[in-house]
Structure 1
Amino acid sequence: MKLLLLATIFAACVLPYATAGRFVCYFPNWAFGRQEPWQFGVENVDTNLCTHLVYAFADLDETTFQIKPNNPAVDIDQEFYRKFTDLKNQNPNLKTMLAIGGWVDSNINDKYSQLVASSENIDVFVGSVVTLLQEYGFDGLDMDWEYPRSEADKTGFTNLLVALKDAFAPFNYILSAAVPAIAADLGYDIPAIETTVDFINLMTYDMHGSWEPDMADHHAPLRKRSFETTDNNVEYSVDYWMANGMSASKINLGMPLYGRSWKLASAMTTPPAPAVGVGAPGPITNEEGFVGYFEICQAVQNEGWEVVQDPDQYIGPYATSPTDVVNWIGYDDLAMLTTKSNYVLSKGLGGAMVWEISLDDYRGACGAGVNPLLTAISRIVVG
């Protein structure tokens, strides 16, 4: 009896740590076009690491307000949609979802605001979503409008989510929303979102970046550092969403599999460090100020980049190049993602999310195995 009592007490004490189990992973429909050997297509997906795979992205037709493929030549003609949902044949427990929006499509004129401003447009959109999900065998939709910004958007976004939830019910489709770290604008009615979505994917990254060209700083800090005057970190973001009405069990903590980079202006490397613009693009991903983890670890391993760790783990590491003009990259490594995964458990969150799976070392080029970051997160969050 005493042992049973102790076991009951122990279970009660660790209960908050047992509420995770969801691991949402975004799949990019563009990475297959990279130069060899770093193309990433559906066939490169490990179906045993993530519980939910989300195909990024579908677009919104600005004339008809229907959902449409972002790249029909890939999504339809090369059958990426079909191959993606067929991944469930490898893992019957896997959920495959479709995301609409993303930064680029969300900021092509004001079409998302127009969508949610009209009940007729919402009805057309919802009907087109159900048709597309049915046709290709998706398990749900991730609404990734970046971002509703006005009172009208807030009301309209809520109406859109309600309409999607109602239409999804007969099919048991999943409804999620990708949301910013801090909902500082007017565009989110958090209690209403709580009642409509199955979960949110909290984009707790890109808190610093190329839009701040004069300052190099880590883009996904876990906690507030002593020099900061604003609350721009993972911990504050999670607490903000929970304090304003979102259940912990519906929050997936976003983690980046990439770094943000700058060119330094001086010998100072400790963030925030003076900079003279964004860093050089990764050799494969080829976007200024952005470097995939698989590119970072190879630069460290093969090109003499120096890595500096934060002993308190308020932020992940940063790496600096041995070049005359020093490139500085702040990123999350295996140690920081392990810390963040344990943070997910300690807060009783529903799970984790990553942007995005083609940025891990999926070829094992750096000696830590294949998909080392995804594997570390999955082992802790999913178990």
Structure 2
Amino acid sequence: MRLLLLATLFVCGVVPFASAGRFVCYFPNWAIQRQDPWQFGVDNIDTRLCTHLVYSFADLDDSTLQIKSSKPVVDIVQKGYRKFTGLKSQNPSLKTMLAFGGWGDSNINDKYSRMVSTSENIQTFVDSALRMLTDYGFDGLDVDWEFPRTEADKIGFSNLLAALKKAFAPYNYVLSAAVPALPADLGYDIPSIEASVDFINLMTYDMHGPWEPETADHHAPLRKRSWETADNNIEYSIDYWTENGLSANKINLGMPLYGHSWKLSSDVTAPPAPASGGGAPGPFTGEEGILSYFEICLAVQNEGWQVVQDPDQLNGPYALSNTDVVNWIGFDDIAMVTTKSNFILSRGLGGAMVWEISLDDFRGSCGAGVNPLLTAISRIVVA
């Protein structure tokens, strides 16, 4: 029956979408330190869902400009690195990669700019990265410098990727880079990135957040909403990157497994809603203005938070707490990640990416099964 259906579609001139095939999932080395029962370590990873797992994050040493562990006790003493790369014994086709950088380490000082400022400094870093990957059995490196900003950074970033590509070739290591949804004036030479990386992880989230304290809005809208004046959405981001030189099949569309939250300052709840700063921290993740998906679904299930859907699926739903000061949380649910996964196929993108796997309902506590968001994405993008 399936073969007959496919043949009929081709005869009629309709080409069915093929699966994208790539699903990149970031793993955080700090979630093991959460309070029970929502600690998340390597042992909690389901190796069947993602094609690439990325251990986050390694740091850049300020003095030597070499890569280094960010949490030596977790990564090395407790064998986090080796347990992580050992997951390939459960799924031989799995790629286990190491990410270096991230928002925190990238913005300590100018060390990333210094690292790419000379060919000698770049080579020092490249040599250290090769040692790290080889010593612990990683399959590749994800470059997550947030963000190169100057013209010198732009040149240096391109030179870094080119040097890594050359050094990785004999080992068949994977090279990727995490880049923002809209680079604007940041330091990216897109054609040179295209020439060096196997793929990019497009961070199509955090388009809004508590750093905009007076307005509650979704941080990962798929398409432009009728009331918006700026182009700050996933569809526009994909158009920008592809029209400026990046192949669609090298793009992994980023999806967040968390929501951004605000305290509302009026009775208006539809975005853009008046607000007065970031929402209350989650009981397990503990950061103002951010809630994991598992914290959101538990609050909806156990505390009676109201969920409001967007009938047009331009963005995900939002949830409203039943507290005196209402917390507004915009997030992606199963329906929204399904819509975005189908968008990936419709645009011929290389795959999906999520930040990050410890934020899903990995205990299956909300009635939709274990890892409901990851599972919904994987079934469409990988299957």
Q: Which position in structure 2 is the counterpart of 1:153?
A: 153
1:170 and 1:211 mapped to 2: Cα distance?
44
Q: Which position in structure 2 is the counterpart of 1:61?
A: 61
Report if aligned partners of 1:21, 1:382 keep a CA contact under 8 Å in 2. Answer: yes
Change (3 A) 1:298 1:5: closer
2:277 and 2:128 mapped to 1: Cα distance?
43
Q: Which position in structure 1 is the counterpart of 2:188?
A: 188
Report if aligned partners of 1:19, 1:349 keep a CA contact under 8 Å in 2. Answer: no
Amino acid at match of 1:361: D
Q: Which position in structure 2 is the counterpart of 1:330?
A: 330
Q: Which position in structure 2 is the counterpart of 1:351?
A: 351
Once the 2 structures are TM-superposed, how far is the Cα of residue 10 of structure 1 from its aligned partner?
5.3
Change (3 A) 1:133 1:226: same
Deviation by residue 1:72-128 (Cα, 9 ceiling, x = unmatched) = 011000000000000000000000000000000000101101111111100000000
Aligned: 1:47 with 2:47: yes
Report if aligned partners of 1:19, 1:249 keep a CA contact under 8 Å in 2. Answer: no
Change (3 A) 1:367 1:4: closer
1:146 and 1:332 mapped to 2: Cα distance?
24
Matches within 5 A, 1:58-207: 58-207=58-207
2:41 and 2:12 mapped to 1: Cα distance?
42
Once the 2 structures are TM-superposed, how far is the Cα of residue 248 of structure 1 from its aligned partner?
0.6
Report if aligned partners of 1:100, 1:143 keep a CA contact under 8 Å in 2. Answer: yes
Tell me, what secondary structure is at the counterpart of 1:18? coil
Deviation by residue 1:263-314 (Cα, 9 ceiling, x = unmatched) = 0000000000000110000110000000000000000001010000000010
The TM-score, its normalising length taken from structure 1, stands at 0.97
Tell me, what secondary structure is at the counterpart of 2:85? helix
1:14 and 1:123 mapped to 2: Cα distance?
46
2:11 and 2:219 mapped to 1: Cα distance?
37
Amino acid at match of 2:199: F
Report if aligned partners of 1:179, 1:203 keep a CA contact under 8 Å in 2. Answer: yes
- C-alpha RMSD of matched pairs (Å): 1.4
Once the 2 structures are TM-superposed, how far is the Cα of residue 222 of structure 1 from its aligned partner?
0.4
Q: Which position in structure 2 is the counterpart of 1:304?
A: 304
Aligned residue pairs total: 380
Change (3 A) 1:19 1:362: closer
Once the 2 structures are TM-superposed, how far is the Cα of residue 359 of structure 1 from its aligned partner?
0.2
Tell me, what secondary structure is at the counterpart of 1:178? strand
Matches within 5 A, 1:266-285: 266-285=266-285
Once the 2 structures are TM-superposed, how far is the Cα of residue 318 of structure 1 from its aligned partner?
0.1
Once the 2 structures are TM-superposed, how far is the Cα of residue 19 of structure 1 from its aligned partner?
5.5
Report if aligned partners of 2:147, 2:186 keep a CA contact under 8 Å in 1. Answer: no
1:57 and 1:331 mapped to 2: Cα distance?
24
Tell me, what secondary structure is at the counterpart of 2:15? helix
Amino acid at match of 1:280: A
2:37 and 2:227 mapped to 1: Cα distance?
42
Question: Identity of aligned pairs, percent?
Answer: 74
1:54 and 1:111 mapped to 2: Cα distance?
23
2:59 and 2:32 mapped to 1: Cα distance?
19
Once the 2 structures are TM-superposed, how far is the Cα of residue 351 of structure 1 from its aligned partner?
0.1
Tell me, what secondary structure is at the counterpart of 1:14? coil
Report if aligned partners of 1:19, 1:350 keep a CA contact under 8 Å in 2. Answer: no
Amino acid at match of 1:57: F
Tell me, what secondary structure is at the counterpart of 2:108? coil
Deviation by residue 1:309-367 (Cα, 9 ceiling, x = unmatched) = 00001010000011110000000000000000000000000000000000000000001
Report if aligned partners of 2:19, 2:380 keep a CA contact under 8 Å in 1. Answer: no
Change (3 A) 1:124 1:173: same
Change (3 A) 1:116 1:263: same
Report if aligned partners of 2:19, 2:382 keep a CA contact under 8 Å in 1. Answer: no
Once the 2 structures are TM-superposed, how far is the Cα of residue 9 of structure 1 from its aligned partner?
2.9
Q: Which position in structure 2 is the counterpart of 1:246?
A: 246
The TM-score, its normalising length taken from structure 2, stands at 0.97
Deviation by residue 1:10-60 (Cα, 9 ceiling, x = unmatched) = 597436x22510000000000001111110000000000000000000000
Q: Which position in structure 2 is the counterpart of 1:228?
A: 228
Unaligned stretches of 5+ residues in structure 1: none
2:39 and 2:304 mapped to 1: Cα distance?
25
2:83 and 2:199 mapped to 1: Cα distance?
25
Change (3 A) 1:184 1:312: same
Once the 2 structures are TM-superposed, how far is the Cα of residue 186 of structure 1 from its aligned partner?
3.6
Tell me, what secondary structure is at the counterpart of 2:130? helix
2:264 and 2:233 mapped to 1: Cα distance?
23
1:373 and 1:26 mapped to 2: Cα distance?
14
Unaligned stretches of 5+ residues in structure 2: none
Q: Which position in structure 2 is the counterpart of 1:262?
A: 262
Q: Which position in structure 2 is the counterpart of 1:14?
A: 15
Once the 2 structures are TM-superposed, how far is the Cα of residue 5 of structure 1 from its aligned partner?
11
Tell me, what secondary structure is at the counterpart of 1:193? helix
